[in-house]
Amino acid sequence: MQRRISSNTNLTAFSRYGRRTMTELIPIYAEEGYRELDLNFCEMMNPGSVLNTDGAVDYIAELAALRERCGVSYIQAHAPYPQRYREMSGEERKASEEAILRSMEYAAALSIPHIVVHPVPGPVKENIGYFTSLLERQKNPLKIAVENMETGNEIWSADDLIPIAEALSPMAGICLDTGHAHIMGEDIPAFIEKTEKYLIGLHIADNNGREDQHLLPGFGTIEWESVMKALKDHYGGYLNYECMYFSRHLPASFSREIIKLSLSVGEWLLSL
């Protein structure tokens, strides 16, 4: 496993007094030591996001400029996702898919290798059709990483994810969310070993085994010693955090301490 720690840009996006955007946060992450980042295009789900306006072109240009100025790499991205998919009207589903496709365009424009996508509630066959449609409609070839989810009516197991990745190969892989796997009672090391061929991304987060708390490792109940052994044996990518919310009741002035703590926790994980 590469000895690199990366993070989604949402690490300190939420604070006591509101949200901050990627362009506000990237310089801070770089100053405190991050060199690899996962761009959070879930920003598109926020009311008034510039990414849903004509200003998106300038926003993506600013992200590109920040990459050069701050000396960082964008190693992954996260697409917006449909909420309450089964309850959505046809028009709402269409709008959701168009947002995902726009995020894929943004990621491709920034030369990001893959983008994490959520499966829709339903069986494997339906998800293969859903993602096939998205991949056929994208303007620039971009690989997707399908994430394991955290409820029983969604795609959550390695046994469900593998046939999706196989059917869509080479344009699809798997993103393991450790927090989701923990909620579902998964044997996370076994999941890693089973999906090794298709595992291209991680969402590293901890929780209490019941709620998707997005905690830093060690603040929940995941057994990280065995998880890290499996990652070192079966995964060659980045140790990438998706930890947010846990500090959302603190002022933004705590951001640098949180970032430093996350890097220290990452070094601990890599020492296991």
pLDDT digits over 157-179, tens only?
Answer: 999 999 999 999 999 999 999 99
Report the C-alpha gap between 17 and 70 in whole angstroms.
26
Mean pLDDT within 16-36:
96
Mean pLDDT within 106-135:
97
pLDDT digits (tens, 9 = 90+) for 198-237: 999 999 999 999 999 999 999 999 999 999 999 999 999 9
Share in percent of the chain as helix, strand, coil (round to 5): 45, 15, 35
pLDDT of residue 83: 87
pLDDT of residue 81: 96
pLDDT of residue 261: 97
Looking at residue 220, which CATH number applies to its domain?
Answer: 3.20.20.150
Residue 17 reports pLDDT greater than 70: yes
pLDDT of residue 91: 95
pLDDT-based confidence at 269, cuts 50/70/90? very high
| Share above pLDDT 70 across residues of the chain, in percent, rounded to a whole number | 99
pLDDT of residue 179: 98
Structure tokens at 53: 């306006």
Chain-centre distance for alpha carbon 186:
19
Report the C-alpha gap between 81 and 155 in whole angstroms.
14
Domain assignment of residue 219, given as a range: 5-271
Report the C-alpha gap between 29 and 26 in whole angstroms.
5
Q: What is the pTM of this model?
A: 0.97
| Share above pLDDT 90 across residues of the chain, in percent, rounded to a whole number | 96
Chain-centre distance for alpha carbon 267:
20
Q: Hey, which residues does 204 pair with through a beta bridge?
A: 241
Q: Considering the chain, what is the average pLDDT of its residues?
A: 96
φ/ψ bin of 33: left (φ > 0), alpha (ψ from -120 to 50), beta (otherwise): left
Is residue 41 within 8 Å of residue 103, measured between CB atoms?
yes
pLDDT-based confidence at 51, cuts 50/70/90? very high
pLDDT of residue 1: 57
DSSP E strands in the chain: the ranges are 5-8, 14-15, 18-19, 36-40, 73-78, 114-117, 143-147, 172-177, 199-203, 239-241
- As for how many domains the chain has, the answer is 1
Structure tokens at 68: 């050069």
Residue 3 reports pLDDT greater than 80: no
